[in-house]
Structure 1
Amino acid sequence: MPKKIFPLDSSKKFEDQELVGHNRWHPEIPPVATVKPGESFRVDCREWFDGAIVNDDSADDILNAPLMTVHKLSGPFAVTGARPGDLLIVDILDVGPIPQEDSGPLAGQGWGYTGIFAKNNGGGFLVDQFPDAYKAIWDFTGQIATSRHVPGVSFTGLIHPGLMGTAPSAALLAKWNKREGDLIKTNPNRVPPLALPPEPQFAVLGSLAASEFDRVAGEAARTAPPRENGGNQDIKNMSKGTRIFYPVFVDGANLSLGDLHFSQGDGEITFCGAIEMGGFIDLRVDLLKGGMDTYGVSENAIFMPGNVDPRYSEWLAFSGTSVTLDGEQRYLDSHLSYQRACLHAIDYLVKFGYSPEQAYIILGAAPIEGRLSGVVDIPNSCSTVYIPTAIFDFDVRPSAAGPHQIDPGIGAPRSNNK
């Protein structure tokens, strides 16, 4: 086992640990440790809400989830010799739930969760069709996930970090804040909001000096979206065996990570669409000096996926085009066409006895494949959703016998409050 350089005690809150990570992006957040090129190390990661979501049959915790507190990131980790313009090579050697803790109150202790977030607290990809808060708990048996809230489904998890990235430079941070602020101004009262501006309240900034805290907290970017530094990309194939090449914007690179997922469908469409958990990740880092210019990677990471994907061979696919539910034609709107493909898949699964929310959760948590299938045939883009048929305990394919009827069980709990 590699040396653990960022330990987390499951009995303590994130901010009470011996080493404290962060939940904002800023170049001045001090590194918690320094590693050398070629060095391997282990990092513990806390689930993104630090225990606010619990293993029960209520979704009130999803409704009231403290979004201003996320993500709870491990790091930053400085890399000796890294300079702006380099590429930081990160190899994911291993990743999994909290070791030797098969039960307990924290996600990652033998269980995880998927949430459909309420429209007034995060929302989701299909927020207009699913505006209320729901939750599903998943139990882990080895690499298999099952849920009392979504019966008839089991699948192999493709475990991965949802969030990993390097620190932005001061100039890059200012660019983020300017462009996202400009977007917010176009519709400042939108629900859900168009973007999340800096929010000093609940900021966690590691070991930053108290004299600098208020200034940095007022500038630091929220961790919700992916950006040029990587960040919250939620790429399910960035799993064990993956090699990632991150642009370096500050001395030391200052790598941070977290938001581990036991499984996820492409798009993480319910907003908390993955199976969220805490756990560990083993990494090795190296440098390509001057690599950003050499390979034309001036922004956004490139990566080589690992080869541990679940071996599903048969799929049922659904397509969608860029036409709204009320029949309005949109021009090559791939976001809309993927929404329509997902809604078609949900409509289909409902015919087997699932509630729409259970079907939505399946698409968020199971290893579905989302594809941008056509983007040139005006006016309609075409997107597709591929569902592996083997994740179901029954035959989900169309047949002359008609849809098999499942017992939906207790269902996905819905928040009692709106």
Structure 2
Amino acid sequence: MPELLYPLDSSKRFTDQKFVGHNRWHPDIPAAVTVRPGDEFRVHVREWFDGAIHNDDSADDVRNAPLSSVHCLSGPFAVEGAEPGDLLIVDILDIGPVPQEDSGPLAGQGWGYTGIFATDNGGGFLTEHFPDAYKAIWDFSGHTTTSRHIPGVKFTGIMHPGLMGTAPSADLLSTWNAREAALIATDPERVPPLALPPEPRDAILGSLTGPEFDRVAAEAARTAPPRENGGNQDIKNLTRGSRVFYPVFVDGAKLSVGDLHFSQGDGEITFCGAIEMGGFIDLRVDVIKNGMQLYGVTENAVFLPGNEGPVYSEWLAFSGTSVTLDGEQRYLDSQLAFERACLHAIDYLTNFGYSREQAYLLLGAAPIEGRFSGVVDIPNSCATVYIPTAIFDFPIAPTASGPVRIDPGIGAPRTAR
């Protein structure tokens, strides 16, 4: 096992640990640990809400989830010799839930969760259709999972970090804040908002204190979106065996990681659409000097996907085009096409007895494949959603005998806005 360089105590809050991580991006957040090129090391990672979501049959915690406090990131890790213009190589050697624990109060201790966020607390990809908060709890058994809130399914998780990236430079941070502020200004009262500006409230900035903490908290970027440094990309295929090449913008690179997922469908469409958990990740780092210029990778990570995960051979796929539910034609709107494909899949699954919310939660959590299948044939883009048939305990392909009706169980807990 690689040396544990970043331990977390499950009995303590994120801010009470030996190493205090961070939940904002800023170049002046000090490195917590320094490593050398070629080092292999283990990192403990706290679930993104630091225990605010509970293993119960209520969605009140999702409805009231404190978005200003996320994400709980482990790091930063300074890599000796890394300089702006380099590429940081990060190999994901292993990943899993909280080690040596099979039950406990924190996500990752034998269980995880998926949430549909209420529209006025973050929303999700289909928030216009699902405005209220819902939750599903998933129980882990080895690498497989089941849910009392979505019966009739069982699948193997593709475990991965939803969020990993390097620190931005001061200039890059300024660019982020300026362009996102300009977007917010186009519709400042929108719910959910168009972007999240810097928010000092609930900021966690490693070892910073006093006036320096106040300055950085006022400038630091929120971790919710992916950006040029990687960040919250939510790519389910960044699993064991992945090699990621991150642009380096500051001395030491200052790598951070968090938001571990037991499983996720492409798109993480409910916003809290993965199966969220705390756990561990084993990494190896190296540096390609001047790599950004050598390969023209000046922004956004390049990666070799992992070679592990469930192997499915049969899928039921749903397609959508860029026509609204009201029949309005849009021009090559791939986002709309993907939305319509998701809605077709959700509506189809209700024929078997699931509620629309159970189906939506399932698409966020299970290893579905989402694809932009046609983007050139005016005026309609075509997007597709592939659902592996083997995750169900019953047949889901259409037959002459009609759909099997299952017992939907207690359903997904709901809390209204």
How much has 1:278 moved relative to structure 2? 0.1
How much has 1:209 moved relative to structure 2? 3.5
What letter corresponds to residue 342 of structure 1 in structure 2?
A: C
For the residues of structure 2 that align with 1:37 and 1:329, how far apart are their CA atoms?
53
What letter corresponds to residue 134 of structure 2 in structure 1?
A: Y
Deviations 1:331-359 (A, max 9, x none): 11111100000000001000000000000
**Corresponding residue number in structure 1 for 2:102:** 102
**Corresponding residue number in structure 2 for 1:255:** 255
Q: Secondary structure of the residue that 1:34 maps to in structure 2?
A: strand
The answer to whether the aligner puts 1:66 opposite 2:61 as a matched pair is no
**Corresponding residue number in structure 1 for 2:174:** 174
Q: 1:317-356 residue pairs with structure 2 within 5 A?
A: 317-356=317-356
**Corresponding residue number in structure 2 for 1:234:** 234
For the residues of structure 2 that align with 1:412 and 1:311, how far apart are their CA atoms?
28
For the residues of structure 2 that align with 1:319 and 1:82, how far apart are their CA atoms?
45
For the residues of structure 2 that align with 1:380 and 1:208, how far apart are their CA atoms?
51
Q: 1:88-99 residue pairs with structure 2 within 5 A?
A: 88-99=88-99
**Corresponding residue number in structure 1 for 2:270:** 270
For the residues of structure 1 that align with 2:308 and 2:396, how far apart are their CA atoms?
25
Aligned-residue identity in percent: 77
What letter corresponds to residue 118 of structure 2 in structure 1?
A: A
For the residues of structure 1 that align with 2:266 and 2:317, how far apart are their CA atoms?
13
The answer to whether the aligner puts 1:10 opposite 2:44 as a matched pair is no
For the residues of structure 2 that align with 1:323 and 1:219, how far apart are their CA atoms?
40
How much has 1:54 moved relative to structure 2? 0.2
Structure 1 spans left out of the alignment, 5+ residues: none
**Corresponding residue number in structure 2 for 1:373:** 373
How much has 1:43 moved relative to structure 2? 0.2
For the residues of structure 1 that align with 2:24 and 2:197, how far apart are their CA atoms?
11
**Corresponding residue number in structure 1 for 2:116:** 116
For the residues of structure 2 that align with 1:310 and 1:237, how far apart are their CA atoms?
11
**Corresponding residue number in structure 1 for 2:307:** 307
Normalized against structure 2, the TM-score is what? 1.00
> What's the RMSD between the two structures over aligned residues?
0.5
What letter corresponds to residue 306 of structure 1 in structure 2?
A: G
How much has 1:208 moved relative to structure 2? 1.4
The answer to whether the aligner puts 1:161 opposite 2:161 as a matched pair is yes
Q: Which runs of 4+ in 1 moved over 6 A?
A: none
For the residues of structure 1 that align with 2:91 and 2:18, how far apart are their CA atoms?
26
Deviations 1:60-118 (A, max 9, x none): 00000000000000000000000000000000000000001110000000000000000
**Corresponding residue number in structure 2 for 1:34:** 34
The answer to whether the aligner puts 1:385 opposite 2:367 as a matched pair is no
For the residues of structure 2 that align with 1:209 and 1:131, how far apart are their CA atoms?
39
What letter corresponds to residue 81 of structure 2 in structure 1?
A: G
**Corresponding residue number in structure 1 for 2:193:** 193
Q: 1:133-152 residue pairs with structure 2 within 5 A?
A: 133-152=133-152
**Corresponding residue number in structure 2 for 1:295:** 295
The answer to whether the aligner puts 1:245 opposite 2:263 as a matched pair is no
Q: 1:187-226 residue pairs with structure 2 within 5 A?
A: 187-226=187-226
Q: Secondary structure of the residue that 2:199 maps to in structure 1?
A: coil
Give the aligned length: 417
For the residues of structure 2 that align with 1:331 and 1:174, how far apart are their CA atoms?
33
What letter corresponds to residue 190 of structure 2 in structure 1?
A: R
What letter corresponds to residue 267 of structure 2 in structure 1?
A: G
How much has 1:56 moved relative to structure 2? 0.1
**Corresponding residue number in structure 2 for 1:128:** 128
For the residues of structure 1 that align with 2:170 and 2:331, how far apart are their CA atoms?
37
How much has 1:210 moved relative to structure 2? 1.9
Deviations 1:345-401 (A, max 9, x none): 001000000000000011000000000101111111110000000000000110011
For the residues of structure 2 that align with 1:4 and 1:30, how far apart are their CA atoms?
20
Q: Secondary structure of the residue that 2:258 maps to in structure 1?
A: strand
Structure 2 spans left out of the alignment, 5+ residues: none
Deviations 1:186-221 (A, max 9, x none): 000000000000000000000013220111100000
